[in-house]
């Protein structure tokens, strides 16, 4: 389609506005410098022989502004010009090696996230229809009787608990003049108060042990490899589940251990398996937090129209 002058006018106006971002500061720098010189010169030449401190500080401030304000405008002009040049280069499709590497990394992350989301929806669809997600063999974890492993993935891991801490206390003796002793005691009290506050903050229940771990997901439990040690979290011991597949996370509370938080691109699959184990298969379609997964399951269950089948063929 051929563009009319009316179509091209807004684009040209936008281009001019972009150039004003660096052109105005560049032109304003010398103008501001001349104006400030005109203001400062009569003030400095007409200064009294013995000026007061406020007067001297005011003159020094004006002199500093005379040089620093135009310099700030010049820096702004350079930064805006460089940004405009970079934007024009990117619009033309010319990217640096670092930018290309970052684009490739983002594309890989998005593709991996889409694949893991599709895997979670597929697992939910299989469970809802009375089946099981695809099984796999994990040789370094001994399965329970009739246990099926469904994932062996890296994931973010943390635990929620408090700790018992010993509040440190400084023992110091001071001798000498009363002022010296008072200063020493005050310093010791301040140090003890800071150490006590830090210890109490450390003792409060909070998320700890943030790390990346290996996670094996089965229909009976979650198995975490942490520092070379395997920790098993039985689905039968769950007391609460807080899935958040949209934000790639899930929190599980258990009867006999501290709560567990898992996050990462594989968290939606974990949420599917845990929610189904805790509430039953139909919870994948009914749980409010699993609405996006349920939408994917229902969309995949829709019959394909003849028109779409002809397009696929």
User: Of 31, 63, 91, which marks where a domain is finished?
Assistant: 91
Last residue of a domain, one of 204, 224, 257: 204
Residue 158 pLDDT greater than 80, yes or no: yes
Q: Could you read off the pLDDT of 29-65 as tens digits, one per residue?
A: 899 888 888 888 787 676 666 667 777 788 788 888 8
User: pLDDT confidence of 74, banded at 50, 70, 90?
Assistant: very high
Residue 292 covered by a domain? yes
Percent with pLDDT over 70 in the chain: 77
Which structural domain, as residue segments, surrounds residue 80?
A: 5-91
Enumerate residues 6+ apart whose C-beta is below 8 A from 51: 59
Q: Which has more confidence, 293 or 186?
A: 293
Domain end call among 52, 67, 91: 91
What's the number of domains the chain is made of?
3
Residue 310 pLDDT: 42
What are the start-end ranges of the E strands in 186-237? 206-218, 221-226, 229-234
52 and 152 housed in the same domain = no
Q: Yes or no: say if 277 and 221 are a contact pair by the CB < 8 Å rule.
A: no
Domain membership flag for residue 99? no
Residue 96 lies in a domain: no
Does residue 28 sit in the same domain as residue 84? yes
74: in domain: yes
Tell me which of 49-53, 101-105, 217-221 is least confident. Answer: 49-53
Q: Are residues 183 and 241 in the same domain?
A: no
Mean pLDDT over 59-86 rounds to 88
> In this structure, are residues 218 and 147 in contact, taking their beta carbons and an 8 Å threshold?
yes
The CA distance from 31 to 62, in Å, is 16
- Residue 218: what pLDDT? 96
Supply the CATH number for residue 299's domain: 2.30.29.30
- 61 lies in the same domain as 84: yes
Same domain, 35 and 116: no
State the pLDDT at residue 109: 84
């Amino acid at each position: 389609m051929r563009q009319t002058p009316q179509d091209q006018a807004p684009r040209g106006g936008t281009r001019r506005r972009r150039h004003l971002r660096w052109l105005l500061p560049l032109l304003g720098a010398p103008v501001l410098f001349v104006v400030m010189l005109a203001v400062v010169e009569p003030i400095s030449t007409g200064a009294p022989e013995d000026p007061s401190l406020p007067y001297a500080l005011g003159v020094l401030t004006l002199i500093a502004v005379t040089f620093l304000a135009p310099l700030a405008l010049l820096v702004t002009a350079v930064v805006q010009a460089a940004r405009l040049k970079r934007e024009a280069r990117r619009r033309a499709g010319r990217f640096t090696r670092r930018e290309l590497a970052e684009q490739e990394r983002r594309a890989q992350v998005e593709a991996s996230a889409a694949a893991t989301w599709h895997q979670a929806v597929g697992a939910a669809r299989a469970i809802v229809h009375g089946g099981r997600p695809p099984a796999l063999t994990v040789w370094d974890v001994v399965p329970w009787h009739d246990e099926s492993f469904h994932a062996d993935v890296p994931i973010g891991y943390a635990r929620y608990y408090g700790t018992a801490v010993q509040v440190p206390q400084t023992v110091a003796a001071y001798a000498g003049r009363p002022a010296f002793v008072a200063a020493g005691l005050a310093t010791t009290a301040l140090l003890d108060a800071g150490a006590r506050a830090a210890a109490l903050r450390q003792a409060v229940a909070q998320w700890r042990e943030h790390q990346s771990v290996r996670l094996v997901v089965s229909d009976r439990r979650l198995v975490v490899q942490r520092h070379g040690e395997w920790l098993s979290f039985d689905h039968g011991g769950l007391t609460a589940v807080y899935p958040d597949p949209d934000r790639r996370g899930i929190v599980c509370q258990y009867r006999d251990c501290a709560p567990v938080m898992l996050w990462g691109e594989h968290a939606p699959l974990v949420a599917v398996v845990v929610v189904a184990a805790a509430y039953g298969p139909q919870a994948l379609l009914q749980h409010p937090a699993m609405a996006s997964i349920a939408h994917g399951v229902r969309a995949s269950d829709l019959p394909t129209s003849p028109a779409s089948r002809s397009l696929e063929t």
